[in-house]
Chain A
């Protein structure tokens, strides 16, 4: 009696498309910004301006990214189920459950940390909606008590935000890691890659703020540049490890490689503009320095651009290898919408 014969189909997916790619990008960026800003404020004497810029931007990115995701849900109102903290106790294997908590607490504790700083900001009290309304609110005894404690417990608050911020960045990678079918996702280099990328984009963002908005070029700015260069180098190693070592080892991986190496957007957009060019530019900046801030700002923009492309291409180029297929058929395939690459 002979064995079962299988046909083969290679397929990518477009369930998680641009909205999710944006969420992963903004989530990583935002969470890393909060972690980075608070850490810098606590331990690197970062100024209040850059701290507020970083943290508030991080909150906005995290919030907006999450809102994008909400729009993408089939049944958004049910999202409250994952907002409650005890959810992770019941579903400890779900990275989304953890990630949601990380995001919530990073945002809450990040805000708590900068609360005292905000209160001292004149523009904050003068906010059109918030000002008059919040103003009354600010003076409530309970709120003042919270603000008091926030001031006193700054370090633990910071660490909660930093750790949950890092956790969020790691979670975006672990999320893909937990999908076993595609070699591009289900390998152990993806979580570190996404984490490193998140922090690299956060640093890039802060550099843009420092150079373009605050015009500060101090010690911390230098450190940020060096750290970003280091992270980009690590990212290059991780990416090429994935491309050259991990992916060739499976049919799914080889199929992903095939798409990636035929994609100008990947080669020029991500590898070129998003990784290699910034590496070169930042190296130059650190070794030889730049005369003007424009190259630094431009480089940082390229890093941000690359950060989005990374997540977009990873989502778009993960390949499922199915042991079946309609003969010669290149269209509709099954539950979910799959773009069939080739059929055998």
Chain B
């Protein structure tokens, strides 16, 4: 089987935001609204011992094992694929936004009617990927995966900070990193079972 997941190496992310731009262009998100990216890179001040340091923190949908967004959906517009990806079908979604409320990771946003009409002018009427208003979120670039490509953010990540892989493949780099126990998901205490893992540094022997 396949279980897609992502590993984020915080040691190398340089905060260039290429991933944000790549995702936006690939998935034609409403870039005129800064609230409506599918992924973000946060620019943090963190305290490490007695030092204050700067850290860049990429965040996206975690494609949870136990996704609260899927259970609340009344139309079946969102579901979890066998390969682990949580997707949205815009044709079915009525846009009640319960899924966005349920998501603990702020991973979903509303693409409304105005975004669609603005998208026609911005992305070109015949080239628009999203033609109906709905909730939108990261889908690990599902269509690119079908073509044997990586998600847009992973492909462009200049620092090899976003690493994509298959947790069902024991030889996959991210599987081996996760197996060390040194990678963690976010808000795991909520029981969502996130599949985006964060690591402070990838052990050199695994690379």
Contact = CB atoms under 8 A, between A and B. Distances in A.
Interface of A: 1-7, 11, 13, 15-16, 69, 72-76, 78-79, 81-82, 87, 90-91, 93-97, 100, 175, 178-181, 320, 322-328, 332-338
A1 B57 contact: no
Contacts of A69: 96
A93 B74 CA distance: 9
A334 B29 CA distance: 13
Given A16-B97, A74-B111, A78-B92, A94 B72 contact: yes
Contact of A1 (B72, B73, B107, B200): B200
B200 A3 contact: yes
21 contacts: A4-B10, A5-B47, A7-B46, A15-B97, A74-B95, A74-B113, A75-B134, A78-B92, A82-B75, A94-B98, A100-B74, A175-B72, A178-B98, A181-B190, A320-B106, A323-B186, A324-B44, A328-B45, A334-B35, A335-B108, A335-B137
Nearest to A2: B200
B44 A336 contact: no
Contacts of A93: 70-72
A335 B38 contact: yes
Contacts of B76: 81, 87, 90-91
B135 interface: yes
Contact of B48 (A5, A74, A96): A5
Contacts of B102: 178-181
A335 B106 contact: yes
B40 interface: yes
A86 to B, nearest CB: 11
B103 interface: yes
Contacts of A333: 35, 106
Contacts of B74: 81-82, 87, 91, 94, 96-97, 100
A1 B177 CA distance: 13
Contacts of B100: 15, 335-336
B162 interface: no
Given A323-B187, A335-B37, A7 B72 contact: no
Interface in B85-110: 92-98, 100-110
A337 B35 contact: yes
Contacts of B93: 74-75, 78
Given A93-B72, A95-B72, A335-B38, A179 B44 contact: no
Nearest to B95: A74
Contacts of B105: 322
Nearest to A332: B34
A97 B96 CA distance: 11
Interface string B54-83: 110101000000001011111110000000
B44 A74 contact: no
A106 B110 CA distance: 31
Contacts of B46: 5-7
A93 to B, nearest CB: 4
Contact of A325 (B38, B44, B48, B186): B44
A1 B182 contact: yes
Nearest to B45: A327
B74 to A, nearest CB: 4
Contacts of B165: none
Given A2-B200, A178-B71, A335-B36, A7 B42 contact: yes
B112 interface: yes
A335 B44 contact: no
Among B72, B108, B110, find the residue whose CB has the most chain A CB atoms closer than 10 A: B72
Contact of B97 (A74, A87, A178): A74
A96 B98 contact: yes
A178 B99 CA distance: 10
B75 A78 contact: yes
Contacts of A76: 94-95
B182 A74 contact: no
A326 B111 contact: no
B134 A180 contact: no
A170 to B, nearest CB: 16
Contact of B109 (A11, A91, A335): A335
Contacts of A91: 73-76
B184 interface: yes
A180 B192 contact: yes
A81 B92 contact: yes
Contacts of A180: 68, 102, 104, 190-192
Nearest to A323: B186
Contact of B35 (A4, A178, A323, A335): A335
Given A73-B96, A326-B43, A336-B35, 13 more contacts: A2-B48, A4-B184, A6-B57, A7-B42, A74-B94, A74-B110, A74-B113, A81-B76, A87-B74, A97-B74, A100-B74, A336-B108, A336-B110
A90 to B, nearest CB: 6
B198 interface: yes
Contacts of B110: 15, 74, 336
